[in-house]
Structure 1
Amino acid sequence: MSKQASKRQQKKQLLVERTARALSVAQDEAERLLSITREQSVRVNSLLLPSDDKAAIKETYRTFAWYSDGLHVDGEQLEALKSSSLVSEGELYIQNAASWIP
């Protein structure tokens, strides 16, 4: 193991220990909680995305009840979207949903 990988592992272990203490849980539970995949939000650029594509995307991903152009995506979906032409061409933006609140 390289020196950098070892240092990263030590930092990870320290984070797990601190989280376990802060939450009063076992270390394996703290590690499980820290490894949960977060949901990410994506905003549809309705000015660029054709309405047919917009409808298809909204069938694929869950929408926000309070924002019709906002979508929930999980970790695997996010990785696929990051490298897609939808993101690179500006038809979808990866954003935190909190940024949509006026």
Structure 2
Amino acid sequence: MDKETPEAFYKRLREQLVETSAWPSNYLYKFIVQSNPEKISSIHKIFDNTGAVIDLKESKNGKYTSVSITVNMKNPDAVIEKYKEVGKVDGVISL
């Protein structure tokens, strides 16, 4: 199975966002990260001053944390920019 390049993924995501949403729009980000306060804090900082609602939920054994973020974004490019910023945090899985 071919692994999609990041550029191809973001291009496809942008097309889907244009087709399925009116902008500006609320967007729900979902990430999984190791339950490490520094990593979780890094994600929080990326969404500081955006009016984001951030919900954290630890896994049953406490090893991982699910981070759900609902935020009003102005367009698909803004959505993708946040994904790229969060992608720089080591070990984050975007859902």
**Normalised TM-score (structure 1):** 0.34
> Which structure: larger Rg?
1
Give the helix-richer structure, 1 or 2. Answer: 1
**Normalised TM-score (structure 2):** 0.36
